[in-house]
Amino acid sequence: MSDAPPVTPTPTWGEVFPWFREVMAEDDAWYVGQVDSKTDVGVARLADAAVTRLKPLPVGRLFPAVRRVERLDELTWPKHRLLNALHRGGCFTGDDLSYMVIAEMLSWESVGPIIVKQILEVVALEEIRASTAK
């Protein structure tokens, strides 16, 4: 018997984000690959799909792991203005953000699709981290 810990297979994009295959075209099936391949490209595509096609949905429906984030400032934000936008929108915890509808985020003052996409990219990375930590 081996004392090595069991190897947990890396999940696919479709396993971590089951909603994603429903909004992507059949001929664009890259999401069947493992999450660890092309992560930056993948989270950008996820965020873009959420902002362009899933505006009526709350963030927590797409990225449920965000609820477990006690304070949003604990996440790694590439730009401080993203966190500022969240705070101005009343989101200080992951639970706050989980109930926020994407369309409402797009209506915040001085916030457009690019800012919302960048916020959702950070949230998607947290979802990946949470799914691979199981």
Number of Cβ within a 10 Å radius of residue 23: 14
Which DSSP category does 75 fall into? S
pLDDT at 79: 93
pLDDT at 51: 96
Please identify which residue in the block is written with the tokens 């069947």.
32
Phi, psi values for residue 112, rounded to 5°: -125, -170
* Residue of 94, 47, 89 whose CA lies nearest to 72: 94
24 part of a folded domain: yes
Q: State how many domains the chain has.
A: 1
87 part of a folded domain: yes
pLDDT at 38: 65
User: Taking the CA of residue 82 as centre, how many other CA atoms within 13 Å lie in the half-sphere pointing to its CB?
Assistant: 20
pLDDT at 125: 93
71 part of a folded domain: yes
pLDDT at 63: 94
4 part of a folded domain: no
pLDDT at 86: 98
Low-confidence ranges of the chain (pLDDT < 50): none
Q: Helix 80-88 and helix 113-132: axis angle, to 10°?
A: 100
d(CA 82, CA 34): 28
3 part of a folded domain: no
The reported pTM is: 0.86
